């Protein structure tokens, strides 16, 4: 059984194109769990959470197209591109179905995959998800998209720490904040903008009632981009859902309070795997 990595630089690439980079850990014989990172980031964002996940499961961590070590086909991108990439990856790894843990755009992709390929999804964990933006929230998102289109990630990323992490965490763990900012700062500009447009333009709230698998929905109390109201809207529309709003946290919950997020994820996956009571 492989131990969860603290940080993994090397990836394996899919045989099919565009090539998707990924790594795996845990028990190869255990149920598969796919971890889907945020926009502009990479699978390395899970370095704090991964060691806290149940090692009896098998974990698959991809970099999206245009992110990390994956190929970067020309844009524009649509959410179906990311769904197709995940479908190919599961096929190549011989995985029939999986639990999907998605963060931010990863939650959007996880939900899209569950709607497109319901037979391949056992459950959803939606962290810091986006759905049901208000008109004002949509205008802010479009303004952010314009900024990302016009500004190289290396220039834009350093200012993002205040939006993503609480003041207390930035003071206590500047190393972890800087590590994530460095990942986002190094992403290729055009794919980052193309992926961010998917994050802005994809809203699946109206289709959320079609989800027929259990769902865990979590966001931070002070997340201005993935607000508690958005998660509440999703939870109200997904029949078998559990909602948690984590106090004080902003966007990057899985880094700032990895133990709390891991406890929720492990507990949820244990719960849905347990046989029903008579």
- pLDDT tens digits, one per residue of 37-46: 999 999 999 9
Write the CATH number for 200. 3.40.50.1820
Structural domain includes residue 278: no
* Band (277; pLDDT cuts 50, 70, 90): low
Judge whether 122 lies within some domain. Answer: yes
Number of domains the chain contains:
1
- Is the pLDDT assigned to residue 33 strictly greater than 70? yes
At residue 274 the predicted structure's pLDDT band, cuts being 50, 70 and 90, is confident
Supply the pTM of this predicted model: 0.96
Query: Alpha-carbon distance 115 to 113, whole Å?
Result: 5
Query: Is residue 229 situated within a structural domain?
Result: yes
Q: Is 66 left (phi over 0), alpha (psi -120 to 50) or beta?
A: left
Is 116 part of any domain? yes
pLDDT tens digit sequence for 199-251: 999 999 999 999 999 999 999 999 999 999 999 999 999 999 999 999 999 99
Nearest to residue 268, comparing CAs of 65, 53, 76, 81?
A: 53
- Domain span at residue 38 reads 12-272
| Percentage of the chain modeled with pLDDT above 90 | 95
Q: Are strands 32-36 and 58-62 parallel, antiparallel or unpaired?
A: parallel
97-126 burial code (b ≥16 CB/10 A, e <16): bbbbbbbbbbbbbbbbbbbeeeebbbbbbb
The stretch 126-152 carries a mean pLDDT of: 97
Q: Which residue blocks in 41-188 are alpha helix, DSSP H?
A: 79-92, 105-116, 135-150, 153-156, 161-164, 167-172, 174-185
Q: Is the peptide bond before 227 cis (omega within 30 degrees of 0)?
A: no
Q: What pLDDT, on a 0 to 100 scale, did the predictor assign at position 114?
A: 98
- Confirm whether 5 is domain-assigned: no
pLDDT at 131 over 70: yes
> Is residue 3 in some structural domain?
no
pLDDT band at 1 (very low <50, low <70, confident <90, very high): very low
The answer to whether residue 226 sits within a structural domain is: yes
Query: Is 6 a member of any domain?
Result: no
Contact present, 102 and 109 (Cβ < 8 Å): yes
Both tokens assigned to 83:
């769904």
Q: Which of the four pLDDT bands, split at 50, 70 and 90, describes residue 7?
A: low
Q: In the predicted model, is pLDDT for residue 11 greater than 70?
A: yes
Tell me the average pLDDT across 143-163: 96
């Amino acid at each position: 059984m492989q131990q969860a990595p603290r940080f993994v630089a090397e990836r394996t690439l899919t045989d099919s194109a565009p090539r998707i980079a990924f790594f795996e850990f845990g028990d190869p014989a255990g149920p598969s769990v796919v971890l889907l990172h945020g926009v502009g980031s990479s699978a390395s964002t899970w370095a704090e959470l991964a060691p806290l996940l149940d090692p009896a499961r098998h974990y698959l961590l991809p970099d999206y197209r245009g992110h990390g070590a994956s190929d970067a086909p020309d844009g524009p991108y649509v959410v179906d591109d990311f769904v197709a990439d995940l479908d190919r990856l599961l096929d190549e790894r011989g995985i029939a179905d999986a639990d999907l843990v998605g963060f931010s755009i990863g939650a959007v992709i996880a939900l899209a995959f569950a709607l497109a390929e319901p037979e391949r999804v056992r459950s959803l964990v939606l962290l810091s998800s986006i759905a049901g933006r208000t008109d004002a929230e949509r205008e802010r998102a479009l303004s952010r998209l314009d900024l990302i289109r016009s500004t190289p990630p290396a220039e834009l990323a350093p200012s993002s720490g205040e939006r993503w992490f609480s003041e207390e965490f930035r003071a206590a763990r500047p190393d972890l904040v800087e590590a994530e900012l460095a990942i986002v700062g190094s992403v290729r500009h055009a794919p980052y903008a193309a992926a961010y447009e998917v994050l802005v333009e994809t809203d699946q709230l109206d289709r959320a009632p079609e989800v027929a698998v259990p769902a865990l929905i979590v966001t931070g109390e002070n997340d201005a981009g993935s607000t508690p109201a958005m998660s509440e809207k999703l939870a109200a529309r997904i029949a078998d859902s559990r909602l948690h709003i984590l106090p004080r946290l902003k966007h990057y919950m899985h880094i700032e309070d990895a133990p709390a997020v891991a406890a929720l994820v492990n507990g949820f996956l244990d719960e849905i795997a347990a046989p029903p009571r008579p």
